[in-house]
Amino acid sequence: MAKKKFHALNVEVFNKPIIQIYSENLENELGKKINFDLTRYLKGKSSEAKLVVGKSGSNYIAKFESLKILPFYIKRSVRKGTSYVEDSFVVKVKDAYLRIKPFLLTRKKVHRSVRKSLRENAKSFVEKLLREKTREEVFRLIISLELQRIMNKKLRKTYPLAFCDIRNIEVLNKKVENFEEKTEKKEKISVEKIKESEDEVEDEKIEETEEKIEEKVEEKKEKKTRKKKENTEEKKEKKTKKPKKE
């Protein structure tokens, strides 16, 4: 039997050997999945990728299967007094189907109509941009932060964003038949109902705060009117009272 040793493996977007596999032969590792930490390659943004060992020609290469930002990084980015926008949809590129989940964070708290327009604009922009790209080109755009930069520039016309990124992207291995019908059903049933309920809760909170503010303003007005009445009554009493003669 051949001895096991470390084999350097190229990663498709980077095109250089940045990971190593301990094995007898790379042929035996075809189809193996590898978790790869991308934090150092994304300027400190805590991210993790899943790679699959494959073969292109005579060379072995690790291909991207998914890429996600770790949840604690997103939680750390969210601040009070802001609104977040999430979505999940399938995009058909030249050689694959991709599940894409963008994450947007506004600078201030906004109404649900603004969040809805941001969600729709982000989806249409991503679909148009990635339609003519390959799977590898899409991952390259995300890792180089080019997609996020263009999307942020496009969406800030709707409302300024504090954070704009792709929270999760994964390759759908199964063939997606009746692609448009399935995505529409999923979005209508699973995504939109949840978002509508979240939006309603947030709107109720906003309405409650507005009502409280209005109540406080009315209370201040009532206090002012009471003081004015008291002052006028005191003045009248002083005028009516005459000094007693000795």
Q: What is the pLDDT along the chain (246 residues), one digit of tens a residue?
A: 568 888 888 888 888 888 888 888 888 888 889 999 999 888 888 999 999 998 887 788 899 999 999 999 999 989 889 999 999 999 999 989 999 999 999 999 999 999 999 999 999 999 999 999 999 999 999 999 999 999 999 999 999 999 999 999 999 975 555 555 555 555 555 555 555 555 655 666 666 666 666 777 778 778 878 777 777 777 777 766 655 554
Both tokens assigned to 85 = 């926008």
Which domain covers residue 160, as residue numbers? 78-205
116 and 5, same domain (yes or no): no
pLDDT of residue 108: 93
6 and 22, same domain (yes or no): yes
3-state secondary structure of 157: coil
Separation of alpha carbons 194 and 144, rounded Å: 32
68 and 90, same domain (yes or no): no
Q: What percent of the chain has pLDDT over 90?
A: 46
In a domain, 195, yes or no: yes
Separation of alpha carbons 149 and 153, rounded Å: 6
Pick from 29, 48, 76: which residue ends a domain? 76
Q: Is the pTM of this model over 0.85?
A: no
In a domain, 30, yes or no: yes
71 and 48, same domain (yes or no): yes
Alpha-carbon 183 to chain mean position: 19
pLDDT of residue 197: 55
Q: How many Cβ atoms sit within 10 Å of the Cβ of residue 218? A: 10
Separation of alpha carbons 132 and 137, rounded Å: 10
Both tokens assigned to 211 = 């009502």
Count of structural domains, the chain: 2
- Which residue, chain included where needed, has tokens 């009554």? 233
Separation of alpha carbons 88 and 86, rounded Å: 7
193 and 86, same domain (yes or no): yes
122 and 29, same domain (yes or no): no
Candidates 49, 56, 45; CA nearest to 170 is: 49
φ/ψ of residue 114, rounded to 5 = -70, -40
pLDDT of residue 2: 67
pLDDT of residue 16: 84
54 and 89, same domain (yes or no): no
